[in-house]
C-alpha cells in the first residue's frame, strides 16, 4: 500500500493495535507498506525512506523482526511443495493415513492446512501438475498392488473441487 499524495501515512494499525507509528513532528512518514498473509501469520514490511522495518504477526499479535527473519518467514510462507506418493512419511506439509476395508488396503495423503502443492510425483514420474495458480493439490488415495498403484487425486480449482 502506498499513500496517495499529498496524504501522509503516520500510523499502521491492525484492528485496534498500533503496529508502527511515526510522530506528528517527524519529517519521516510511512512511504509504503507491504503485507503478506498466510493462514494465521502476517508479514509486514514498512518503508520509511531508505529504512525498512519488519513485523511478524500471529493471531493478531505483532513483533518486530530482523530483515533476515523476515526473508526466512517469507520463503516459508510462499513455499509450494512437491507431493511424492511413494514417500509415505508424515512431515510438516502432509499427513498420511493407511486404511483397510473389505480386504483392500490403501493410504490417503492430505495436505496440512496452509501449505500448497501444485505437483504430484511417483518418484521421478510426474502424476499431476496444476495449471498456474488456479489449481492446488487437495488430497489423494493410493491403492498399491505390488509395483502397481491406482491413484485417485483431488485438487482445488478456481471453480471448486475436481477429482
pTM, two decimal places: 0.63
Q: pLDDT per residue over 10-46, tens digit each?
A: 888 888 888 888 877 777 788 899 998 877 788 999 9
Which one, of 114, 2, 111, lies nearest residue 58 by Cα? Answer: 114
Which one, of 129, 92, 130, lies nearest residue 112 by Cα? Answer: 92
Residue 113, C-alpha cell as written in the block: 492446512
The reported pLDDT for the residue numbered 66 is 95
Q: pLDDT per residue over 72-85, tens digit each?
A: 999 888 777 888 98
**Domain coordinates in residue numbering, the chain:** 11-77, 80-162
Amino acid at each position: 500500500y502506498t499513500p496517495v499524495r499529498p496524504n501522509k501515512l503516520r500510523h499502521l494499525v491492525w484492528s485496534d493495535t498500533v503496529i508502527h507509528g511515526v510522530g506528528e513532528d517527524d519529517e519521516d512518514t510511512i512511504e509504503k507498506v507491504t503485507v503478506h498473509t498466510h493462514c494465521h501469520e502476517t508479514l509486514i514490511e514498512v518503508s520509511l525512506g531508505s529504512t525498512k522495518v519488519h513485523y511478524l504477526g500471529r493471531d493478531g499479535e505483532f513483533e518486530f523482526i530482523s530483515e533476515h527473519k523476515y526473508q526466512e518467514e517469507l520463503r516459508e510462507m510462499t513455499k509450494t511443495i512437491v507431493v511424492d506418493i511413494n514417500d509415505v512419511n508424515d512431515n510438516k506439509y502432509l499427513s498420511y493415513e493407511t486404511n483397510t476395508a473389505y480386504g483392500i488396503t490403501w493410504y490417503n495423503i492430505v495436505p496440512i492446512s496452509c501449505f500448497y502443492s501444485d505437483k504430484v510425483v511417483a518418484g521421478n514420474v510426474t502424476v499431476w501438475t496444476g495449471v498456474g495458480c488456479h489449481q492446488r493439490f487437495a488430497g489423494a488415495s493410493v491403492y498399491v498392488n505390488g509395483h502397481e498403484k491406482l491413484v485417485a487425486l483431488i485438487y482445488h480449482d478456481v471453480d471448486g473441487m475436481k477429482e
